[in-house]
Structure 1
């Protein structure tokens, strides 16, 4: 079995060594980067199963490193490990795309459990992506066999029309469609009804968005229509 490969991006050597000791004793292959620039260089050169990322570093902040990772890789687990404990810092890190945020000082057992949990989830996603009957765009998943839709592995109950519209979005992520195109594709009717589309978009936002009034996934593209953004 191939070893799990972890990258630590941390400018404090004692913390790097501590994390290395914790994870390497659990049969993980642990790499170390002493700043953000070195971390990005290693990410571009090697393949990792998870990145542990400090925030306050001399050259590039952990936030910027995470943003750069997410431009090219949506599935690589990122765990922030930081002394910044304010709620706004934690929320910012999660909004950028981190999978978890652990504050310093940290418990070795909690760190180890978080790492194992995120890697297990990544393996499940990679396995699901090889199943042609399951569409995965994290945190969403649509099962073509059962017509069930999930967010963070929790099933969301959708009506028949909501299911058809969500299936279409999952099959066409990051593409902009007019209301007419959506109506014809989902309702299969050339007589477009803008009001029906707007109503069902509202229903879906209420079910899948964290803040329906500020949608991050089903976005309005003014003057054109809608985009399912991942």
Structure 2
């Protein structure tokens, strides 16, 4: 049997789609230590893969104790929001090749919420704020005998804020929320906006009064962090401003 020449080995190596990438992950296990630590994992991976694929590879092949959330893995469920290279992103939508993989890629939990373990945070305060704005259609009177019709123009009025997937990327990118977890946060306001401006809903005034609270919409400092962080491209800051305007004018 002939031995492969050096040129052939180098050619095969050059043709490989894989690169060596280091993922610097912030680890926290309250059963082991009170403080979080950074841990590096170096793996071979195709740069066209996503950060979520890298986390899977680390968990399945290197360290099974690594803990993170994920569900659909297609940017719809919002489960895998985390800070990647210092920015809030969905791990399932972030390609490794877009992160300068020649340098260590940092991965840590989103800010402003209590870390339970590794990349998993306590989402209860986030979802409580969401529930508090009554994110459902409210009407009065008898049940209608036909569909509640709505014009295309009326639907377009709140179309942007229907895209929210409750990933918390916007809320956990907000400096106000970092400093005061009582603030409703951008995601709750976005979901209130979705119903305040729905022509079929009758509880707009009620939601506006909820957001008129000291921890409500007026806490926003218009830094645009939330808009930049949204993986769905929602104009979050614009929606917050529209809610502020509705509170002043009572027109919506």
Q: Please classify the TM superposition score into its range, dividing by the shorter chain length.
A: under 0.3
Instruction: Tell me which protein shows more strand as a share of its residues.
Output: 1
Larger Rg: 2
More helix by share: 1
